[in-house]
Amino acid sequence: MAGGTLPGTDADDDAESDRVVFHVDMDCFYASCERLRRPELDGEPLVVGMGYEAGETIGAVATASYEARAFGVESAMPISEALELLPRRANADPDDPDAPDPGEAGRYLPVDLDFYKEVAGDVKAVLRDCADVLREVSVDEAYLDVTDRTAWDAAAGESAAAGPAEVRTLAEGYARHVKERIEREAGVPASVGVAPNMSTAKVASDADKPDGLVVVPPGEVEPFLAPLPTADIHGVGPVTERTLAELGIETAGDLAAADPDRLADELGDRGRELYRRARGEDDREVTPTGLPKSLSRESSLSATADEERKRETVRALAADVARRARERGCLYRTIGIKAVEPPYEVNTRARSLPGPVDDPDLVESVALDLLDEFDGDRVRKLGVRVSKLDFAESDQATLGGFDAGGGSGDAGDEPGGRDRGTEPRSAATDGDGGKLTDWVDGEPDGADADGETETDRRTGDGQASLGDWS
Ligand code: TTP
Ligand code: MG
C-alpha cells in the first residue's frame, strides 16, 4: 500500500513527531575535497593537517581519511603522533632498508581552506535546493527541515505491517536522493541522519559513517538511542561522559532513565537538556542560519614586507568582502583590517564610519589606509573585514564625503585595537597556523564548561557570526 502510515507513528495527534529533519555531515571532509582534485588518492590513507612540512615542528591533524583512521590517526591529534602511527609516504623509499613500508605509509597534505569552502558551497547549493529550512552548522555540516518535502509514510510497495525500523519510508527515499545529489553535484560523500528532531538526526548521521544513511522514524527514537554510549549524545564530551560514568550512567538508555533532578544537580540545566535528548525529546525548530555579524576574508602570504604585494592583497580582499556584502544586501558601519606578523602577532585595526554604507571603493581605501601603519613590517597574513552590519532594506548606496585619509590606525570600537596580541593556537589551523573559523560544531548551551571544546568553538548550532576574527 502506498502512503501507509508506519505503525506507532500516528503523527496526526503529535505534530512534533511529524517533522522530518535531516542532519548532513560530510565524510572526512577535507580529505574528500583533496580526493576530488586528486582522484589518485582514493582508497589511500590520507591525512590533512599542518606541521609536517620541512622546518615545522608543531601541528595537528585536521582530518584523516577512513583508511588513515584504521591506523589510529584522528582529528586534532598532534602531527608527531600521527606520523608515528602512520609514517609519511614520501619517506617510504623501497631502496632504504630503514624506510617505512610503503604499504604502511600515508599521504600528508596541508590544509587548503579556500578550496574546501568552494566545495562546501557546492554542497550547500544542493542542500538549499532540497530543504524547506536549512541551518548550516559548519563548513561540512547542516540540518535540513524537509517536513514539507517528504513524510514518514511508507514508500510505495512497502508493507506497513513490518516493524517501523524495517519499512522504507518516503523520508528515507528523499534522503537517498539528497545524498546522491551531493555526491553527483559536489563530488564528495556525505552521511545523512533522518529523524523527527535535530539531536537524533545528528546522532543518526554519525551512526554509520562513512557513506551512511540512518533513518530513525518516530516511535523508534528512544530504542535507537538507548544502547549508545553517552558520548554519542550530542553535547556529551569527555568531561561530561566521565561525570555521568561516576553516576553509573554509561548509555543513553541509562541517561534516559536517570533522575533529571540529580542530573541537574551535577550538570546544571545541561543535565536536564541531555536527559531530554537521551529520551529523544528535542523540540528545537530548525531555524535558518543566523545572519553574520561581520564579513571577512583573509589570505596567507609567505612573510613579506613588499608594499605592493601587501596592497594588492588588501585590494583583492576588500573587493571580495565588499562584493559579498552587496550580494547579501548588507550595509556596514565599520571597516577593518588584520595584519599578522610572524610568527603569531595578530594586529587588527578598524575605523567606524558615520553611517552604514555599501561602498566597495570606500572599503578599499579605508583598508589600504589602515594598512599604512604596517609600512615596512613583514606580514604573513592579511585580512579585511566589514562589521556593524545592517541587513535592513536600504538604498543608502555610498557615503559621500567620508574622509578615508584621516586618523590612521583608529581602533574605533573594534576588538584588537592597537594591542599586539598573540594569535590563539587551535587544534584546527589552516596551512599557515591561523585559525579556522568555519568548521566547529555547536553544543547545547553551556557545553563549553566541559573543557572539551576547540579554541574556536561556536555555540548554538552555528548561530555565531561567520568569519568573525577573535
Ligand atoms: P568533522 O565533520 O568533525 O570531521 P570529518 O568530516 O573530517 O570526518 P567525519 O567523516 O567523521 O565527519 O569535521 C569537518 C572538517 O573540519 C574536517 O574534515 C576537518 C575540520 N576539522 C579540523 O580542522 N579539526 C578538528 O579537530 C576537527 C574535528 C575537524
Ligand atoms: Mg564531517
Task: Tell the residue nearest (CA) to atom 26 of ligand 1.
Answer: 76
State how far the Cα of 56 lies from the Cα of 50, in Å rounded to an integer.
8
Nearest to 440 by CA among 395, 407, 470: 470
The 10 Å Cβ neighbour count of residue 65 is: 26
Domains along the chain with CATH numbers: 29-111 (3.40.1170.60), 226-278 (1.10.150.20), 292-427 (3.30.1490.100)
* Residue 95 among known ligand-binding residues: no
Neighbouring-strand partners of residue 335: 351, 386
The pTM (predicted TM-score) of the whole model is 0.65
Three-state DSSP state, 303: strand
Using the mean position of ligand 2's atoms as its centre, give its distance from the Cα of residue 113 in Å: 14
Task: Tell the residue nearest (CA) to atom 16 of ligand 1.
Answer: 439
Neighbouring-strand partners of residue 191: 25
Q: What are the φ/ψ torsions at residue 64 (nearest 5 degrees)?
A: -130, 140
Q: 82-98, pLDDT tens digit by residue?
A: 999 999 987 777 787 77
Burial class (CB in 10 A: 0-12, 13-18, 19+), 129: exposed
Matching residue, cell 583598508: 367
Kindly list the strands in the beta sheet with 107-110, ordered across the sheet, starting from the edge strand earlier in the chain.
61-64, 46-49, 107-110
In a mutational test of the pocket of ligand 1, which residue from 34, 35, 75 has the highest number of ligand atoms less than 8 Å from its CB? 75
Matching residue, cell 586528486: 38
Write down how long the chain is: 470
* Residue 140 among known ligand-binding residues: yes
The number of the ligand nearest the C-alpha atom of 46 reads: 1
Pocket of ligand 1 (CB under 6 A): 25-30, 62-63, 75-76, 140-141, 209-210, 427-428, 436, 439
The closest-lying atom of ligand 1 relative to the alpha carbon of residue 49 is 23
Using the mean position of ligand 2's atoms as its centre, give its distance from the Cα of residue 456 in Å: 17
Query: In tens digits, what is the pLDDT along the chain, a chain of 470 residues?
Result: 334 444 444 444 444 568 999 999 999 999 999 999 999 999 999 999 987 766 666 789 999 999 999 999 999 999 989 999 999 987 777 787 777 777 789 999 999 999 999 999 999 999 999 998 999 998 999 999 999 999 999 887 766 555 555 679 999 999 999 999 999 999 999 999 999 999 999 999 999 999 999 999 999 999 999 999 999 998 898 999 999 999 999 999 999 999 999 999 999 888 999 999 999 999 888 988 777 788 988 888 889 999 999 999 999 999 999 998 988 888 999 999 999 999 878 899 999 999 999 999 999 999 999 999 999 999 999 999 999 998 864 444 333 322 222 222 222 323 333 333 333 333 232 222 222 222 222 222 222 223 222 222 222 343 322 334 43
Geometric angle at alpha carbon 458, from 229 and 79, rounded to 5°: 70
Q: Is 327 a catalytic residue?
A: no
Q: 239-279, pLDDT tens digit by residue?
A: 999 999 999 999 999 999 999 999 999 998 889 999 999 99
Kindly list the strands in the beta sheet with 133-138, ordered across the sheet, starting from the edge strand earlier in the chain.
133-138, 141-145, 21-26, 190-195, 213-215
Using the mean position of ligand 1's atoms as its centre, give its distance from the Cα of residue 202 in Å: 14
